[in-house]
Structure 1
């Protein structure tokens, strides 16, 4: 297959879940003999087109800031979509790709990818990481109708949709394509990389890793941990930064057992995060909004007891199954489960064993099958 990915960001030059997914799947498909090209912004040094780990990286727009005041920039997404359209359309009309895979979110590159594919036989496959729906009101305020309309227009654009979880597929079906037309191709992890990551000099009994934003509920974790820390002589490490950093640091200093908690900030080296997971006994993240939850899988691969939130806006229960625990996102419920986990309670299924089915090799094989079905018209 000749596969083209379209994404305004490119791993490892920009680090994030969506771009890492493209990298992990793309490099593996290239190793299997497929021709893989990524159309992206020019985040790397050197010429506009390079070969990186078997993939062709083709810059169709210059490097740009992705965020404006802690929110993804709408103008950046529009600019990338507009710049990507002409070169992609030219190459599709020259029959250079068999399938194009566009990542959602943002939405505008999906629309320009579809425009580029008109009057060609090249199918457009989309990867839906989340469907925001009413969350737009919290994210954009008075501009929420603009976000909702854009999301719905994208959902109704002719495409071969994949979703990273069943909950995302269900949400997508509620605003666009039939549920039976949506294939689930989950995110993955490099199990071997997790299991061989070097442990830190100082580890923590309980660990959180993620962006410090409101729906992650790190304040709930701090309160819950404070309630049980002394009983288990336990420590807590918080990895990450974000708009909630200052507020959470203030709450941290007010804890009765503040000396048992360390705010580690953002760690530049991904393997340092994995190493902390290997050193921890418990990974806790009471986030109420997770389109997938890759950190849960990483922590399970590191053999942590994972505690997540049981919430209708989170796919945590789908990802974790019975290899971890999902509780109400309250301090009392989380404290009770932390107390049990620190006391040695383990889930019915071994976390490390459960995580193996999400290794990137297996996920790349699922993606390969989905792309071929789109090309064959069997979707």
Structure 2
């Protein structure tokens, strides 16, 4: 089959769970299918390039993803309007749910064709739109309710997202995110690690400031890997609260995994998480995970008492969770073994097979 992924962001030029999912599936499905990714032109050189047998189409120049700590509507419209240009002559098109407008543009482009479309849902915001945008959030909420009507099929990356989509009146198939177990196992640990490590975007919803405050007035070492609109604010906060904190910015994947392997815990204090690939990667390295019991944090369903700790979004509670693990070596060792075992279920090769099976089923429906 000829399959295309539509996404404004793409790994490794931008780092996130959605980008990682698209790339890991795309490169595996090339064994049997012709795979394309339609995105913004994040790279130097020609608009179209081939990477690991995947054809990348850069249909427009990239612009800033965030404005005032929020996803930019201008960027969403910029990418969506450029989607009107390319031909959509594919058997299957799998669209990244965010930022919604590309899904609507794709619907307009394909509704009279024999192309089957899928939207992959990482999150469903519903009432969270009002918290995120205030009154304009009503518009976002309406768009979110319209969007699931447009594809032939909806895919959810977690049961949490599936349940929320169901409340909007739409069924979906759960195909979770995954990890490359073989790659992770082959990576060497970094020479030095941290008591607690954070990996991810530096945006408000990730609550990295709360994590920094959790290490205040302690001897706990904290490593932060990632970039985002809150980077400068967080750098200033670390200077005031904890000199044992180091911010790395973005790193190569093998370096990131190396730090996970050499660190004692990984913290994911996010109040909004569609799945939590970072938590899964940490588990694969044998690093216990600390996350928070927030309503829209799907990562809390990955973390059990045997693999880590789920606690309240509170600096003191997070501090105690970190200390509870690192001050008990036997508990840390047992959590490490359990985490590795759980992570084995999520190998990308298994996820790719499930995805391939679904694509074929949808195509056969005619």
TM over 0.5: yes
Q: Cα deviation per residue 1:299-319 (whole Å; 9 max; x = unaligned)?
A: 111111111112221112322
Structure 1 residue 290: Cα displacement: 1.0
Q: Aligned partners of 2:179, 2:364: CA distance in 1, in Å?
A: 29
Residue 102 (1) aligns with residue 102 (2): no
Q: Equivalent residues in 2 for 1:3-42 (5 A)? A: 3-31=3-31, 33-42=32-41
* SS of the residue 2:190 aligns to: coil
User: Cα–Cα, structure 1 residues 57 and 152, in superposed 2: closer, same or farther, change >3 Å?
Assistant: same
CA contact (8 A) 1:169 1:182 kept: yes
Q: Equivalent residues in 2 for 1:252-263 (5 A)? A: 252-255=238-241, 258-259=242-243, 261-263=244-246
Number of residue pairs aligned between Structure 1 and Structure 2: 361
Q: Aligned partners of 1:83, 1:206: CA distance in 2, in Å?
A: 42
Structure 1 residue 118: Cα displacement: 1.3
Residue 43 (1) aligns with residue 42 (2): yes
Aligned to 2:257: 274
CA contact (8 A) 1:310 1:316 kept: no
Q: Aligned partners of 2:110, 2:365: CA distance in 1, in Å?
A: 15
* SS of the residue 1:367 aligns to: helix
User: Cα–Cα, structure 1 residues 245 and 13, in superposed 2: closer, same or farther, change >3 Å?
Assistant: closer
Q: 2:353 aligns with which of 333, 353, 365?
A: 365
Q: Aligned partners of 2:270, 2:299: CA distance in 1, in Å?
A: 9
Q: Equivalent residues in 2 for 1:331-342 (5 A)? A: 331-342=315-326
Structure 1 residue 253: Cα displacement: 4.2
Residue 242 (1) aligns with residue 256 (2): no
Structure 1 residue 42: Cα displacement: 2.4
Q: Aligned partners of 1:74, 1:104: CA distance in 2, in Å?
A: 14
Q: 2:313 aligns with which of 325, 329, 335?
A: 329
Structure 1 residue 158: Cα displacement: 4.2
User: Cα–Cα, structure 1 residues 269 and 116, in superposed 2: closer, same or farther, change >3 Å?
Assistant: same
Aligned to 2:111: 118
CA contact (8 A) 1:290 1:314 kept: yes
* SS of the residue 1:61 aligns to: coil
Q: Aligned partners of 1:82, 1:191: CA distance in 2, in Å?
A: 38
User: Cα–Cα, structure 1 residues 2 and 24, in superposed 2: closer, same or farther, change >3 Å?
Assistant: same
Q: Equivalent residues in 2 for 1:175-194 (5 A)? A: 175-177=168-170, 181-194=171-184
Q: Aligned partners of 2:287, 2:309: CA distance in 1, in Å?
A: 11
Aligned to 2:342: 354
Unmatched 5+ residue regions in structure 2? none
* SS of the residue 1:238 aligns to: strand
User: Cα–Cα, structure 1 residues 42 and 262, in superposed 2: closer, same or farther, change >3 Å?
Assistant: same
CA contact (8 A) 1:316 1:326 kept: no
